[in-house]
Every structure is written in C-alpha cells, then in structure tokens.
Chains A and B, each alone.
Chain A
Amino acid sequence: MKTFMGYKRGDGSVGIRNQIAVISTVSCANPVVEQICAEVPEAVRLIHQGGCGSGGRDLITHTRTLQNLCRNPNFGAVCIVGLGCELIPAESLHLAMLVTKKPVEKIIIQDVGGTVKAREIGIKTVRKMRDDLNKVKPEPHPFEHLKIGLECGGSDAFSGITANPAIGVVSDWITGMGGTSILTEITEMTGTNEILKRRSAVSETAEKIDALIDRTNSEARKILGAFADLSISAGNMEGGLSTVSEKSMGCITKGGTGEIMDVIEYAEIPDQKGLIIMDGPGYDPVSMTGLAASGCQLILFSTGRGSPLGFPGVPVIKISSNTVVSECLKDNIDINAGAALDKGKSIEDIGNMIIDMTVRVANGEKTSSEVHGQDGIVCLYSMDRTF
C-alpha cells in the first residue's frame, strides 16, 4: 500500500486524525480547558505545568513546544485558552498558528470576565470547530507525509533484542517510503558517538551528534554525580548486557540502519525527511511531548515492564518485548514482540506486523492507548529552575 487516508492541512502537512486541540498557555488556564473538553468529548485536552515562572532556555523551549504542538497535523483546529498575564501569551501561540492556516481561536480568561464565561465561550467555539471539521473528508496521501516518533520506556533485558530491533525494521520502511522517523532519548545514547557519527549523512550532522551526546553526559554528571556512571547498572548486567555501548545500541536500534539526515532541538519541526535525531531525555512523557511537537503523527513505543502511557491527540502503538507482559497488560499492548522469543517469529516478522498496524492506524484504526484513554498530560522539558 502506497497511500493512507489522511487530512491535508494548510501548511502542506497531513494528519492521520482530524481533531481539535484545546490548549492552555499556562497552568492557571488548565481547569477551563478541562471543563471545555468535558462538554465536547471529541476535543483533545492539552494541559501542562508551564507557561510562566521560567526564563532563559526553558522559556524558549516551552514556547516552541506549545507552538509546535498546536501545529501537529493531527489537529485540524486549535482553541487556545490563556489567562492574560502569563509569560507565554495566547497571542504568541495564535501568531505561530497563522502559518498553518488552520482555524484557530483564543480565549483569554482575564479579558472575557472570568472562568465561567471563558468556559461558555470555549464550549461554543469548540462545538463550531467540531461541526466544521466533520465536513473535512480524508483523502489518499503518500507515506512520505508520515513522521513516526520512536520511544522506549519501562525497558527490560529483552527490549533491545526483540521490540527495539523490530521497530528498527519499521524505521527503515518509513524512511524508504520517503517519510520520516525521529529517534531521541539522548541520555540512552552514551557510548554510541562513533557509531552514530559514521551513520551521519554529512559531517556537520556527525559533529552535532557528538556534541549533543557529550553535553548530555556532562550535564548528567553535574546533577547526578557518581550515579551518572550507573548508566549501565548491576541489573542491566544480570540481564545480559556487558557494556554501555551494548545497552545504548539496544536503544538506538529503534532507528534502524539508515543514514542520519539531521539533528534537531527538542520539539523542533525538522526540515529534512528520513532518519532524524531529536534532543530530549529518556523520560517517556517528556520525550513523547517533544516528538508530538516535532510533528510526529504516530509514536511506536516499546516496553518490557509494561508502560501503558499514550499521548493526547497522537496514536501510540505499544509493543511489548516479552509475552508475559503482553498477557498481563493485554488491554495496553498492541503488538507482542516477545513472539520472537517463544513463538518462532523472526525480528523481520514482528517488524512487518508493526508496519501493518502502522498502516491501519494511519488509516484511522485506534490503538489501545486511544481506546482506553491513556493520553495523559503534556510534560514540558525543563533544564533550569522555576522562578
């Protein structure tokens, strides 16, 4: 299959869902967003802890993240709820949305006369957006428009042997189709500088990767001290991992074997297609927020211990590394890569199962995280103190 049924947006991107985002610019506006979404269940709630009290690089990162989340192609319309005195004003999100030519409205609690009125206006606005969006019909689009985020969380000794190499098969497939896959979790790339540099398309990218991994390691050492050196733990070794490089390979194998086309900031939208590396931490909700903001319409998430978490507005396909967890958390796991351990399947077989599901999900099939409401909140990446 060469195309999927998606929704074209004004900036040329294509969504695999046709949803309305209701987003707060600051945590003070979160309750109004929740109240609007309670009345219009089709709307996607984007609430977070940020929007004020930060400065320097956090303010820049948080602003970019919120702006680019609204630009995610899975959202066909955006309703912004602001307070009025916050550091990231509703206007800045509103302006950023103009390039996308999506329907966008802003409601400012201090301007409209309080939360009760803001809620009423919001419900009316979002219902109108929903009725308009329902008239948009999906059309066939080539897979070059699909951007897939790669994630692993709650890993076990088998994640790097079954689920992650199978995800690598999918990454090679989508980049081969002219699309994009984004690999992140830089804290889990220790010891793979040389390998990733060798895979870079141009020397500038290789230098960026080297600098990013080194900077991440030195910051980890500054905060964690001696604990930073436990990037390979006694538990990892009991599980069969012998070196840091081996452990990190288990993570980066999700990116497959392709050339690395570019290195981007956390929550930045890449200019290039193909395999991309994004700055970001290993902590899943923060990592997935960055992937969604960078424009991923879909996330592949491997887990060994059983992480159920999805992301609001972005379908997440959960892939277990072993059969025990897929049976224990059967409502939360979409594909069992543990079949490579006990059902005679090859990594290639599992990779093809994930590709088939990716195609179905791109065409509208719901993932377990969507069916069971595991969408959670937006978790912003912070490096500095809150003021």
Chain B
Amino acid sequence: MNPNCIIINNMDNVAVVVVKICKGDPIILPDFSSIPACTDIPAGHKIALRDMKQGEDIIKYGEQIGRLNAAVSRGDWVHIHNIFSLEDDQA
C-alpha cells in the first residue's frame, strides 16, 4: 500500500492526509510505517505524528504555523478546534 499522507519537512510534527481517512484506518507514512487514525480526517487535513502537550508549537514546512490549545495524541486530527494562530497571540 502506498503512503496516504505527506510530510513536507523532516522537522514537521504533523502530516497531511491526501485522502479522506476514517477512524481506525491506517495512516501510512512515507517510510511505510503506519498510525491508526483517532478520528475521521478529511483529505488535505493534518494529523499529529506524536503525542503533544497543550502549548506545544505545531510545525509544518519546518516552521511554526500555530500552537496547541489542548493535548493531542499520535493520530489525532489537528485543526482549528485544537490549535490557534500565533498571529492572534501577537495581536
């Protein structure tokens, strides 16, 4: 089975799924290891690559793109319900 997600930069702690994933389905990483999805995840959305605490930065493209306002587990969906913009933080 081919990978069904993309990790854009090696520093990233999230991957982007390229097809719709249902809860429990395997998310197959570029190195062919797999993570079970904790929830349904729409195509183009992000999943956590490891367990993370509240307040940790989300790294995509090797850069901070937001910060967690709740803890997440490996395989969790990462989106507006659990991250906030660092721009909002500055404003």
Contact = CB atoms under 8 A, between A and B. Distances in A.
Interface of A: 157-158, 161-162, 165, 190-192, 195, 237-240, 242-246, 249-250, 253, 257, 340-342, 344, 346-347
A240 B87 contact: no
Nearest to A157: B44
Contacts of B24: none
B61 A249 contact: yes
Contacts of B66: 242-243, 245-246
With most chain B CB atoms within 10 A of its CB, the pick from A158, A238, A240, A347 is A240
Interface string B11-22: 000001011000
A302 to B, nearest CB: 14
A162 B18 CA distance: 10
With most chain B CB atoms within 10 A of its CB, the pick from A157, A243, A340, A346 is A243
Contacts of B18: 158, 161, 340-342
Interface string B55-84: 000101111111000000000001110011
A191 B85 contact: yes
B60 A246 contact: yes
Contacts of A346: 30
Given A249-B60, A253-B61, A243 B6 contact: no
B13 to A, nearest CB: 13
A161 B63 contact: no
A237 B80 contact: yes
B88 to A, nearest CB: 8
A190 B65 CA distance: 12
B44 A347 contact: no
A191 B86 CA distance: 9
A158 B30 CA distance: 17
B8 A245 contact: no
B6 to A, nearest CB: 6
30 contacts: A157-B44, A158-B18, A161-B6, A161-B18, A161-B44, A162-B6, A165-B61, A191-B85, A191-B86, A237-B80, A239-B44, A240-B16, A240-B42, A240-B45, A242-B46, A242-B85, A243-B83, A243-B86, A243-B87, A245-B65, A245-B85, A245-B87, A249-B60, A249-B61, A253-B8, A253-B61, A340-B6, A341-B19, A342-B18, A344-B2
A109 to B, nearest CB: 52
Contacts of A340: 6, 18
Top 3 A-B residue pairs of the complex, sorted by shortest distance between their CB atoms: A240-B44, A243-B85, A157-B44
B26 interface: no
A165 B6 CA distance: 11
B64 A245 contact: yes
Contacts of B30: 346
B36 interface: no
Nearest to B3: A344
Contacts of A191: 85-87
B9 to A, nearest CB: 8
A195 B11 CA distance: 15
A161 B5 CA distance: 10
A249 B63 contact: yes
A302 B19 CA distance: 20
Nearest to A244: B87
With most chain A CB atoms within 10 A of its CB, the pick from B60, B65, B85 is B65
Contacts of B80: 237, 242
